[in-house]
Amino acid sequence: MIVQNEKGYVFFSSITRPMKATYCSTGSNEDFIFSDYYSTWFLVCSNVTDNSGNSTAVSEQLFRTNRVEFTQLAAEYKVVNLGQGFPDFSPPPFIQEAFCKAVSGGPTMHQYTRAFGHPPLVKSLAKFFSGIVGHEIDALEDILVTVGAYQALFCAFQALVDEGDEVIIVEPFFDCYQPMVAMAGGKAVYVPLRPSGAVLSSGDWVLSAEELASKITARTKAIVINTPNNPIGKVYKTEELQMIADLCIKHDLLCISDEVYEWLTYDGAKHVKIASLPGMWERTVTVGSAGKTFSATGWKVGWAMGSGQVIKHMKTIHQNTVYHCATAAQEAVGHGFEREHKLFGSPESYFQQLPATLQQKRTKLAACLESVGLQPVMPEGGYFMIADISSVKVNLNDQSTDEADDFRFVKWLIKEKGLATIPVSAFYSPEHRKEFDNYIRFCFVKEDSTLDAAEEILRKWSQEQ
Amino acid sequence: MAEDEMFNLLRGLSFLLIVRDVSSYTLTAVQVWSVHAIGPSSGKGTPDYMKSQSKNQAISNDRERSSTASSRCPSQRTTVRQQVSCAVTHRPTDGGCLTPITTCMNIARQVLNCPLFNIHYRRFCTSQYTMTSRHANSKRIQGLDKNVWVAFTSLAADPSIVNLGQGYPDIPPPSYVKEALAKAASVDQMNQYTRGFGHPSLVKGLSQVYGKVYGRQIDPFKEILVTVGGYGSLFSTMQGLVEEGDEVIIIEPFFDCYVPMVRMAGAKPVLIPLRLKSGKTTITSADWVLDPDELSSKFNSKTKAIIINTPNNPIGKVFTRDELQMIADLCIKHDTLCFSDEVYEWLIYRGHQHIKIATLPGMWDRTITISSAGKTFSVTGWKLGWSIGPEHLIKHLQTVMQNTLYTCPTPLQEAVAQGMLLNCELMGQPECYFTSLAEELEGKRDRMAAIVQEAGMTPVIPEGGYFMLVDVTSLNQDLSHVTDDEGEAYDYKFVKWMIKEKKLAAIPVTAFVGDESKKQFEKYIRLCFIKQDSTLDAAEKILKNWTKI
């Protein structure tokens, strides 16, 4: 349902919740960029004017950074898209081959496999991660394979959070955490990472131990962390994780650790698994993603790892929701991990090559952003970079004054410069949003041609200044 | 930390930190109420049993032992200063630790179990230990952990067993769907996220196919949701539309997930069995019918929905237009929703027709129809399905989708889209897979029925689907020797016995009914016949030799 009010705002009563929209018109079509608490949605609405001059919306497609449609949109309106958070290049050949091999494999590749995870996959995951976690992982008891890390998070919240439980979420957070907590009847309690000092790197964004401790109540059930973090790129250090671990142990909390970007760390930053700290294995659910690991987000293969005592409850959720995950993709991912296990630490390992490639892209993007007065926060990990827009002098030329600064800036950037990004305050809770509305997020897991195009836009812009 | 310091800590503390800093080893917190030594204290020095411990001692235990303490003479209790040696746990370093933590824990247990001292403790916080009750499951899954597949899949996994149990084909899927999948995966963008509610080419293809079937325009973006299998559609439907306190009517026998899903949504399942019409020699699934009065009595003001499954699993019943009309009338009268599980919609045998309840007057606006690519194209391992219905209902399923797994795999959806489009062209023709598969299965159905009869059992000939109910009463199989759980139904015992003795796997039908109907169905087992000829040959051999010992 679209309603237009006098300010020109369009309220789209979406299937979930009302969202505020701002629209910018580029050419004959009108693009609506929606933002709500959880995400930024892009609506393409083709308006057609009939003979009386009345315009009617002909077709609407509501999508959220959908690559397929957004690519068409980007091509049509010449938007260079550094907003959507997934690769625009293909997965590595060895994983694609593994998939093709699985597809042309015997009939069992196309029928149900073991519900909680295809045996070859869970075995290779257990083998691979046991050494890293410092704990012998039982392939059948301690691992649940899910439809993407997204479903692993869903199972965790559904299995462990009851009505009235509180769940601490470290901000900025991947937008799905809050609705999932809400769906489980829980209450989200937010603690922000705060920039301290010069803020040149994601490492300068820190969690205050006092602030975190102050949020814990008798009803607190769990804490959700994401390392490397989306959108900032922070890679939590051992001491920081230890601080969180100490509180988890002291207050007997669970920890849900979203580590989908675990292989993407730069400048020698080390990804540390909170589950490997003493006292944490039995209370931590570690979530991983084949999509992020092997640049194949469309396969939707993820997993949760943890003590069998906790995983078993997630299995109950899983068997009453989707029950099985697709077989062939699991087979391929299993082979991927076998290969990586053999090549671990060597230059041929994809887990070495991908971060090395991305580090270069990171450097390049940061330099481009600096040249126009945007202040990037160098991410220690992940494939996103946030940049401070405060010192950029632009006339935003828009009538909307009660909208967050970063949203207005993103809109302007698309309209005037043809560069798509995501406003960072969308990753914050309502109560803290205003404090963090001067950052926008860029994604750099893109082909060089995409980054070159972005560079071109930024170069031109800096010349105009 | 020196021993003295440590012992000072120990005295009557409610929280105990036990440390010895030995090289890289640090400590773990152990929560202990108090530590008392039993027997003579100071002067004895470290007891021998402790001297022999390695550096990597740990103290751990989670049992309360206050009862032991109270049985001791109070005067003998002294603080363990000299007698408790420092103990440590080790922290696994990033490179892995040298002594497995299990060894440390075992040593710890020995130390704690030593009668020389009592340690009152609540719990401790190191690895390897069972969760406290605080980390038990959420209430919504209470009692939902067991199901028939968990029980029987592993039993039947032995390759020497002829598996007619779990419902998946061992015949290959059509080659063009496999090719379409390989082709899709070779396109860059097909390996990345697609539209959350369904890959555009798939929903458009579904809209075309089902537009024809329903005889109405179906909006691909608003009236279709792609899910992880028919299972995922059922889940999205329950979560999206069923509330705490609702009642949902389920017809027995039912695909077993309906009840746990209804319960997980906080609602109450209300069961009504199909009943066998008496007086027939050859029994088909059409002879299992609903009693209209009985059905009517199940509807009340709390009824949110009725779930129907046509063709039905396990019986194979294809509901007639009149039967569906009867249900539709009640839905309209009581303003309830209808969730129609139609995953076997194309597997209809001669003389029968699949009717979609959503096409009956007044039903489109209150019905969610669920389908499955896995059953349609014999690719159960692809786990793709879809829900079709009016926008005002589908939107709630979409909400669930975006908060549960967000999107389904892209290349699989693209391949199914290709399969759909191809068969859309061929619909009504013999080359159409939807028709050709049903024909192939009808032959297998008839063969299965014949060999089952030869073995002295009575089949219920299904009008649709790929399962057959088989009545084993006439075998008079004595199962008293089969040890089992208390009150385990006859069919469970029979299937377990059959797997073990005859190397043939089936599924017990009481898994698909509630407790009250168990007696009605416990002489039936379910056989799956979407199997290749060699599997059916093997089954035939077993059944032919049934009476021979």
Say whether A273 sits in a helix, a strand or coil. Answer: coil
- Assign A464 a pLDDT band (cuts: 50, 70, 90): confident
Q: Is the pLDDT of residue A290 over 70?
A: yes
> Half-sphere exposure of residue A69, counting CA atoms within 13 Å on the CB side?
20
Residues in chain A with CB shorter than 8 Å from the CB of B144 are 316, 320
Cβ of A249 within 8 Å of Cβ of B125? The answer is yes
The minimum CA-CA distance between B30 and chain A, rounded to whole Å, is: 10
Rounded CA separation B471/B452 (Å): 10
> A61-67 long-range CB contacts below 8 Å, 24 or more apart?
A61/B195, A61/B221, A62/A12, A62/A14, A63/B195, A63/B196, A64/A39, A64/A40, A64/B196, A65/A40, A65/A422, A66/A42, A66/B193, A66/B194, A66/B195, A66/B196, A67/B189, A67/B192, A67/B193, A67/B194
Q: Which DSSP state fits B172? A: P
Poorest-pLDDT segment among A312-321, B51-60, B145-154: B51-60
Rounded CA separation B483/B499 (Å): 14
What's the average model confidence in pLDDT over B324-338?
Answer: 98
Contact present, A217 and A224 (Cβ < 8 Å): no
A vs B, Cβ pairs < 8 A, gives 247
Question: Which of B137, B147, B178 lies closest to A313 in CB terms?
Answer: B137
Residue position matching structure tokens 């606006």: B365
pLDDT of residue B517: 95
The amino acid sitting at A283 is R
What's the average model confidence in pLDDT over B491-496?
Answer: 93
Binding-face residues of B in 515-534 toward A, CB within 8 A = none
Per-residue CA distances from B278 to B61, B168, B284, B287, B532 (Å): 63, 32, 12, 8, 34
Kindly state the percentage of chain B with pLDDT values over 90: 64
Rounded CA separation A233/A240 (Å): 15
Q: Is A112 on the interface with B (CB under 8 A)?
A: yes
pLDDT of residue B549: 54
Rounded CA separation A351/B436 (Å): 47
Both structure tokens of B199 = 């890959």
Q: Is the pLDDT of residue B370 over 90?
A: yes
Poorest-pLDDT segment among A128-142, A431-445, B107-121, B481-495: B107-121
What's the average model confidence in pLDDT over B200-211?
Answer: 97
Cβ of A160 within 8 Å of Cβ of B191? The answer is no
Rounded CA separation A318/B39 (Å): 53
Residues A352-393 have pLDDT tens digits of: 999 999 999 999 999 999 988 899 999 999 999 999 998 887
Cβ of B383 within 8 Å of Cβ of A158? The answer is no
Residues A34-67 have pLDDT tens digits of: 333 233 333 333 333 333 434 333 222 233 333 3
- Assign B548 a pLDDT band (cuts: 50, 70, 90): low
Residues in chain B with CB shorter than 8 Å from the CB of A90 are 188, 191
- Assign B288 a pLDDT band (cuts: 50, 70, 90): very high
The minimum CA-CA distance between A249 and chain B, rounded to whole Å, is: 7
Cβ of B181 within 8 Å of Cβ of A148? The answer is no
Both structure tokens of B104 = 């440390």
Mean pLDDT of chain B: 80
Both structure tokens of A156 = 């965790």
pLDDT of residue A51: 36
pLDDT of residue B528: 97
Both structure tokens of B284 = 């088909």
pLDDT of residue A48: 31
- Assign B329 a pLDDT band (cuts: 50, 70, 90): very high
- Per-position DSSP letters for B326-352, written without gaps between them: HHHHHHHHHT-EEEEE-TTTT-B-TT-
* Torsion angle of C-alpha atoms A416, A422, A424, A427, degrees rounded to 10: 150
Contact present, B28 and B89 (Cβ < 8 Å): yes
What's the average model confidence in pLDDT over A186-212?
Answer: 94
pLDDT of residue B181: 96
- Assign B281 a pLDDT band (cuts: 50, 70, 90): confident
What's the average model confidence in pLDDT over B89-93?
Answer: 33
Q: Is the pLDDT of residue B331 over 80?
A: yes
- Assign B27 a pLDDT band (cuts: 50, 70, 90): very low
pLDDT of residue A427: 93
Burial B320-357 (b: 16+ CB within 10 A, else e): beebbbbbbebbbeeebbbbbbbbbbbbbbeebebbbb
Question: Which of B264, B381, B412 lies closest to A109 in CB terms?
Answer: B381
Q: Bridge-partner residues for B306, per DSSP?
A: B249, B338
pLDDT of residue B453: 92
Residues in chain B with CB shorter than 8 Å from the CB of A295 are 191
Residues in chain A with CB shorter than 8 Å from the CB of B127 are 135, 278-282
Question: B148-171+433-544 belongs to which CATH class?
Answer: alpha beta
Question: Which of A110, A291, A320 lies closest to B261 in CB terms?
Answer: A320
Mean pLDDT of chain A: 84
Q: Bridge-partner residues for B367, per DSSP?
A: B338
What's the average model confidence in pLDDT over B247-272?
Answer: 96
- Assign B321 a pLDDT band (cuts: 50, 70, 90): very high
Q: Is the pLDDT of residue B79 over 50?
A: no
Radius of gyration of the CA atoms of chain B, in A: 31
Domain with CATH 3.90.1150.10 in chain B: 148-171+433-544
Residues B419-428 have pLDDT tens digits of: 999 999 999 8
CA angle at A142 for the pair A141 and A143, rounded to the nearest 5°: 100
Interface test with A, best of B135, B170, B178, B399 (most A CBs within 10 A): B135
Binding-face residues of B in 326-385 toward A, CB within 8 A = 378-384
Say whether B365 sits in a helix, a strand or coil. Answer: helix
Interface test with B, best of A129, A324, A327 (most B CBs within 10 A): A324
Q: Is the pLDDT of residue B104 over 70?
A: no
Binding-face residues of B in 130-189 toward A, CB within 8 A = 130-132, 134-141, 144-145, 147, 149-150, 166, 168-173, 178, 181-182, 185-186, 188-189
Cβ of B408 within 8 Å of Cβ of A147? The answer is yes
Q: Is A344 on the interface with B (CB under 8 A)?
A: no
Residues in chain A with CB shorter than 8 Å from the CB of B192 are 67, 86-88, 296-298
Residues contacting B180, CB < 8 A, separation 6+: B414, B415, B418, B419
Burial A28-44 (b: 16+ CB within 10 A, else e): eebbbbbbbbbbbbbbb
Q: Is the pLDDT of residue A313 over 80?
A: yes
Closest-approach residue (CA) in chain B for A317: B141
The minimum CA-CA distance between B200 and chain A, rounded to whole Å, is: 9
Per-residue CA distances from B69 to B12, B77, B447 (Å): 14, 8, 72
Closest-approach residue (CA) in chain A for B380: A111
pLDDT of residue A64: 37
What's the average model confidence in pLDDT over B222-243?
Answer: 97
The amino acid sitting at B236 is S
Residues contacting B17, CB < 8 A, separation 6+: B9, B27, B29, B30
Across A281-398, where does the E strand assignment appear?
284-289, 302-305, 375-377, 384-388
Contact present, B523 and B491 (Cβ < 8 Å): yes
pLDDT of residue A12: 34
Interface test with A, best of B191, B235, B382 (most A CBs within 10 A): B191
Residues contacting B435, CB < 8 A, separation 6+: B346, B428, B429
Cβ of B200 within 8 Å of Cβ of A69? The answer is yes
Choose between B415 and B279: higher pLDDT: B415
- Assign B119 a pLDDT band (cuts: 50, 70, 90): very low
Rounded CA separation B10/A449 (Å): 66
pLDDT of residue B134: 62
Residues A322-350 have pLDDT tens digits of: 999 999 999 999 999 999 999 999 999 99
Residues B259-271 have pLDDT tens digits of: 999 999 999 999 9
The minimum CA-CA distance between A391 and chain B, rounded to whole Å, is: 35
Say whether A152 sits in a helix, a strand or coil. Answer: helix
For residue B535, the surrounding DSSP H or E stretch is helix B533-544
- Assign B213 a pLDDT band (cuts: 50, 70, 90): very high
What's the average model confidence in pLDDT over B1-18?
Answer: 41
- Assign B144 a pLDDT band (cuts: 50, 70, 90): confident
Q: Are strands B78-79 and B28-37 parallel, antiparallel or unpaired?
A: antiparallel
Choose between B250 and B118: higher pLDDT: B250
What's the average model confidence in pLDDT over A254-274?
Answer: 97
Rounded CA separation B513/B501 (Å): 26
Q: Is the pLDDT of residue B17 over 90?
A: no
Residue position matching structure tokens 């179990």: B113
Both structure tokens of B392 = 């005002």
Nearest to B303 by CA among B330, B326, B336: B336
What's the average model confidence in pLDDT over B394-405?
Answer: 94
Q: Is A299 on the interface with B (CB under 8 A)?
A: yes
Q: Is the pLDDT of residue B59 over 50?
A: no
Per-residue CA distances from A408 to A124, A415, A423 (Å): 47, 11, 9
Could you tell me the pTM of the whole model?
0.80
Cβ of B181 within 8 Å of Cβ of A107? The answer is no
- Per-position DSSP letters for B175-223, written without gaps between them: HHHHHHHHHHHTSGGGGS---TT--HHHHHHHHHHHHHHHTS---TTTS
Residues in chain A with CB shorter than 8 Å from the CB of B384 are 326
Cβ of A282 within 8 Å of Cβ of B128? The answer is yes
Q: Are strands B28-37 and B16-18 parallel, antiparallel or unpaired?
A: antiparallel
pLDDT of residue A394: 77
* Torsion angle of C-alpha atoms B536, B542, B546, B549, degrees rounded to 10: 180
* Torsion angle of C-alpha atoms B122, B125, B127, B132, degrees rounded to 10: 50
The minimum CA-CA distance between A395 and chain B, rounded to whole Å, is: 35
Per-residue CA distances from A392 to A205, A241, A405, A413 (Å): 21, 35, 12, 12
pLDDT of residue A398: 67
Q: Is the pLDDT of residue B231 over 90?
A: yes
Both structure tokens of A342 = 């053999």
Per-residue CA distances from B163 to A81, B51, B207, B453, B534 (Å): 51, 59, 36, 19, 12
pLDDT of residue B484: 63
The minimum CA-CA distance between B331 and chain A, rounded to whole Å, is: 25
Across B113-174, where does the E strand assignment appear?
117-124, 162-163
Domain with CATH 3.40.640.10 in chain B: 175-426
pLDDT of residue B318: 98
Closest-approach residue (CA) in chain B for A61: B221
Poorest-pLDDT segment among A216-225, B57-66, B202-211: B57-66
Cβ of A67 within 8 Å of Cβ of B235? The answer is no
Closest-approach residue (CA) in chain A for B178: A103
Nearest to A84 by CA among B176, B250, B477, B189: B189
Cis bond before residue B314 (omega within 30° of 0): yes
Both structure tokens of A368 = 């481009």
Q: Is the pLDDT of residue B223 over 50?
A: yes
Residues in chain B with CB shorter than 8 Å from the CB of A291 are 193
Q: Which alpha helices (DSSP H) does A134-264 contain, by range?
A: 148-160, 177-183, 209-214, 238-250
Q: Is the pLDDT of residue B379 over 70?
A: yes
CATH architecture of residue range(s) B175-426: 3-Layer(aba) Sandwich (3.40)
Question: Which of B138, B185, B412 lies closest to A96 in CB terms?
Answer: B185
Contact present, B386 and B226 (Cβ < 8 Å): yes
Cβ of B405 within 8 Å of Cβ of A300? The answer is yes
Residues B130-139 have pLDDT tens digits of: 344 567 789 9
